[in-house]
Structure 1
């Protein structure tokens, strides 16, 4: 069947327009999702500046309203949308490491239409069904906020399987706060947090972190999670990590990630861990994390807005007034 859907278009220089499009029949192997929730992400700010040939929005939760041929997903299924369009057949996918797909070419919301719209068509394999006891406005945090945070900490556990007494999180945006919330489940004792924004730092403390003290001295932490992408934050992480420790580099930036050519850094024996998203093999474990921590994160981070309010929501998001605005459909349950 055809569907009429309103979609946002990012024109560049902060301009957002809307179009009403007619979507044809759903293609083979795909499902049509009514977008019930789509969260804004800091990385979307790049598309706001540059413009995008596709509809942005990559933190999507919704309900299947139509399916194409060769699809077994029932209409009415609630799900979150897995961003990487993985092939499902390469050796990485066969091992459950779908975030490492050897044939990955597209990310939903980046190279193909995403969720700043009333509907989005996605491959059926990219729809992750949501358990009945997890609300969609919490489930959407299982993508970037908790899913990416938990995967990074699972990678870090391989370097220090016995855990650490104390860790530092630099950058208390949504992803950093996701790390703060779930770190204890991965063997981290106490978590210190740093953010120059007083409101963000206060939220990290509210979630159980301590405000970091003086970060000028070297060798303070066995685990440092850098989530801002700022050059100063990266320099701080490389300074305060102790020999034998690990830096998790989660922050994204248009600037290259560099390691200082200083005697101290050259003589620091440590791990640098870079993570991209999470594999589908971790989804079930992530639901348990959301059951424990999702409501607290949702209530502190998210602000519901309508699709029509997207331009104002982005302006307030860029200004730092909002942590994580979420486009919520009027038809959402």
Structure 2
């Protein structure tokens, strides 16, 4: 198969790789859409030691099953596999399984190729009227769904009455804002520093876009970036008794105003990926239209993936998400 392979820092090569071979209980999927995630960018820049070169990146994908019991089925892929036996899995918190594994991280190759293998239990069938480019958004949107579900439970006020702020206008932030709307929030702002991207966000229903420094208070803040600067902003604008949900993994340390959080009883919750049920619920919300038109992506050929990554790096991509098509 042809695949986009991460060969070195800021170097992606479109070349032939061996076809993956499914094992018992797995399916071979011919990829039709695969999104570029922030974690793919971290690897591309050499900032993720968990994803050493050479490696096929990509874990936000949808396609059609080739062969086996599910032959011909259109599916979106939950890329996170878990053991199903540990205490976390049995408690419905399978995203915290100690044996969790995601494609695009050794030893599992990712979905920036023509083919990928995945356990059948991780596949969600896609209705015929839903484009696979939209179905591929289930993975990043599920991160927001999970965060909103946990954040809503932690709030001391109904979400319908809460002022919600999302930091970061990439796909994680946009997805979190759309999930907030689907859960019933009506006052939602997305903070995005890139004016080009803010213009795109202004065309998406369900929330408003704002420049940094223009938002002063919120009941619920979702940090979809995860840098020291965004954590500092989050702790500054969250009201006393409010909640911060932290999704982004940009930097490991810095930014939190622990004194203010302590004195004002601000709840901080780290949120990692999603449970299998969150993924299924998100896919259903995509299929029935609760997450909007999802027309804010840009599509490019997988063969032009190197340029797509370079353009994201340069900050000249207006769309919150680029979808690559083999």
Same fold (TM over 0.5): yes
Structure 1 window deviating more from structure 2 (88-97 vs 28-37): it is 88-97
1:21 Cα deviation (Å)?
Answer: 2.9
Q: Report the TM-score when normalising by structure 1.
A: 0.86
- How many angstroms apart in 2 are the aligned matches of 1:29 and 1:280? 17
Post-superposition CA distance 1:110-164 (Å, at most 9, x none): 22101111111222222222233422111111111x2111110000111126223
Counterpart of 1:246 in structure 2 is 243
Counterpart of 1:148 in structure 2 is 143
- How many angstroms apart in 1 are the aligned matches of 2:306 and 2:212? 38
SS at match of 1:177: helix
Q: Report the TM-score when normalising by structure 2.
A: 0.88
- How many angstroms apart in 2 are the aligned matches of 1:278 and 1:193? 21
| Structure 2 residue corresponding to 1:100, chosen from 96, 101, 104 | 96
Check whether the contact 1:168–1:224 (CA below 8 A) recurs between aligned residues.
Answer: yes
1:103 Cα deviation (Å)?
Answer: 2.3
- How many angstroms apart in 2 are the aligned matches of 1:138 and 1:213? 27
Counterpart of 1:225 in structure 2 is 222
Structure 1: 4+ residue segments shifted above 6 A: none
Question: For structure 2, which runs of at least 5 residues remain unmatched after alignment?
Answer: 47-51
- How many angstroms apart in 2 are the aligned matches of 1:213 and 1:21? 43
- How many angstroms apart in 1 are the aligned matches of 2:20 and 2:251? 37
SS at match of 1:242: strand
Q: How does 1:105-120 map to 2 (within 5 A)?
A: 106-111=101-106, 112-120=108-116
1:95 Cα deviation (Å)?
Answer: 4.1
Counterpart of 2:275 in structure 1 is 279
Counterpart of 1:315 in structure 2 is 310
SS at match of 1:281: helix
SS at match of 1:57: coil
1:25 Cα deviation (Å)?
Answer: 4.5
2:60 aligned with 1:59: yes
Distance 1:32 1:216, change over 3 A: closer
- How many angstroms apart in 2 are the aligned matches of 1:25 and 1:77? 18
Check whether the contact 1:142–1:286 (CA below 8 A) recurs between aligned residues.
Answer: yes
Give me the CA root mean square deviation: 2.3
Check whether the contact 1:10–1:55 (CA below 8 A) recurs between aligned residues.
Answer: yes
Counterpart of 2:49 in structure 1 is none
- How many angstroms apart in 2 are the aligned matches of 1:236 and 1:132? 43
Check whether the contact 2:244–2:267 (CA below 8 A) recurs between aligned residues.
Answer: yes
Aligned residues: 314
Check whether the contact 1:138–1:294 (CA below 8 A) recurs between aligned residues.
Answer: no
- How many angstroms apart in 1 are the aligned matches of 2:235 and 2:254? 11
Structure 1 window deviating more from structure 2 (271-280 vs 83-92): it is 83-92
Check whether the contact 1:180–1:204 (CA below 8 A) recurs between aligned residues.
Answer: no
SS at match of 1:121: strand
Question: For structure 1, which runs of at least 5 residues remain unmatched after alignment?
Answer: 68-72
Distance 1:64 1:191, change over 3 A: same
SS at match of 1:102: coil
Post-superposition CA distance 1:190-217 (Å, at most 9, x none): 1122211112223333224334478488
Q: How does 1:66-81 map to 2 (within 5 A)?
A: 66-67=67-68, 73-81=69-77
